[in-house]
Amino acid sequence: MPETKQQICSSIKNFKLPAYNEIPDVGLYLEQTAKYISDYLAPVQETPVTGSMISNYVKKGLIAKPIHKQYNREQIAQLIFIATAKTVISMDDLHIVMAIQRSTYPSEIAYNYFRREFEQVLAYVFERENALDSVEADAADEKIMLHNIIITVAHKVYLDKLVAALRAEKKTD
């Protein structure tokens, strides 16, 4: 299994999202936007982003409607976050998260923070020798898999409880 571990780690080793100022701001059409995002997220997501997904995010009010059918830098940055976060959070909860982001930080600062954190956490998770966790460095794949399932579930439970608390707080405002 060492080859498998090495292959998994190498598949993510050079993963980078574009910095905010590297995202095109010339306006991309729907299918161009979907391809742009899918190409960047391909190393971390098996399912590509589609035009219908993006249209659905617009219909649900997660991002603003495109201007002249073109998506700008801010919308593309938000779509990259949404495409990543939707794997662990519901659309309703994404509304809460996006509202908090919009009221707290400008899009450029929020996106660049997300990008940096995402890349750092991926590096931490995939570079097992640098991980400060309870699994031994030479643990069997089964133990590593179980450990990662448990960590994922624990993070999901925490995220769900945090969003529920934010939702309850919002209702009392």
DSSP state letters, 71-101: E-HHHHHHHHHHHHHTTTS-HHHHHHHHHHH
Residue closest to 27 by CA, chosen among 65, 58, 72: 72
Q: What is the predicted pLDDT for the residue at 114?
A: 95
> Rounded mean pLDDT of 94-114?
93
When the pLDDT of each residue in the chain is averaged and rounded to a whole number, the result is 87
Q: Are 110 and 101 in contact (CB under 8 A)?
A: yes
62 conformational bin, left if phi > 0, alpha if psi -120 to 50, beta if neither = alpha
3-state secondary structure of 67: strand
Q: What's the DSSP call for residue 15?
A: -
If you average pLDDT over each of 103-112, 117-126, 127-136, 163-172, which comes out highest? 103-112
Q: Is the pLDDT of residue 90 over 50?
A: yes
Q: Which domain holds residue 48?
A: 2-172
Q: How many domains does the chain have?
A: 1
Q: Is the pLDDT of residue 129 over 60?
A: no
Q: Is the pLDDT of residue 32 over 50?
A: yes
Q: Is the pLDDT of residue 135 over 70?
A: no
User: Cα 115 to chain center, whole Å?
Assistant: 8
Instruction: Indicate the range of 12-16, 53-57, 73-77, 112-116 predicted with least confidence.
Output: 12-16
